[in-house]
Chains A and B, each alone.
Chain A
């Protein structure tokens, strides 16, 4: 389901960010794009509103793996009161950090798949956010000899790649 009124949502985001940048004294500019063009074959995250930051204070947003960028994104999503499964419709980026991270995750997914095939043992990723786990789930969806699953709670929740029948064998013992 798309965001009901994207233009209104984009305007609210703009109003929110204007205040954040001004009161925070941040040297940042940003561009908000509604329905950004995406390659047809892209089957992960298809944002309907894309916010791209740039400027001298970019590093403040990107420190510690983009912690503040994600914080501002979360605040904007909470402000819009989107239902849980609509979070991916909004994406905040800065100097292509996020798109690079997605590429990194897709490459890591491929490497993990290779390793699980070679060793026959599961591979556990470091803990990641639900959005990042989803990128990996989707990247491995078409690998029919593997299956992926999230384990653990809260901030320790991580994704594990298994050989297809691994679990059942484990239980049969």
Chain B
């Protein structure tokens, strides 16, 4: 039973777009790697700092959010932020 469809790609895209100066350049793609789903995120080079955050705190917060939301999907997700 899942009337609400969780969408991890849309979730990460939505969160990233809220954080950056150039939301149009946010791209999240998903790849299935041996049962684990890897989300690859690309943002404008100028926005890299905003996505990573001081001492990596923003990136860590995105991963915490992904981990919590993905618990309902019964799949493992990993967020990779591409340089």
Contacts and interface: CB of A to CB of B under 8 A. Distances in A.
B62 to A, nearest CB: 7
A68 B64 contact: yes
Interface residues of A, number: 24
B19 A24 contact: no
Given A22-B4, A25-B7, A78-B61, 14 more contacts: A20-B14, A23-B11, A25-B4, A26-B4, A27-B4, A61-B68, A68-B68, A71-B60, A71-B62, A72-B61, A74-B53, A74-B58, A75-B62, A78-B53
Interface of A: 12, 16, 19-20, 22-27, 57, 60-61, 63, 67-68, 70-72, 74-75, 78-79, 154
A70 B62 CA distance: 11
B10 interface: yes
A75 B18 contact: yes
Contacts, number: 78
Interface string B36-57: 0000000000000010010101
A13 B65 CA distance: 16
A23 B50 contact: no
B65 A24 contact: yes
A16 B67 CA distance: 18
B65 A68 contact: yes
A110 B6 CA distance: 45
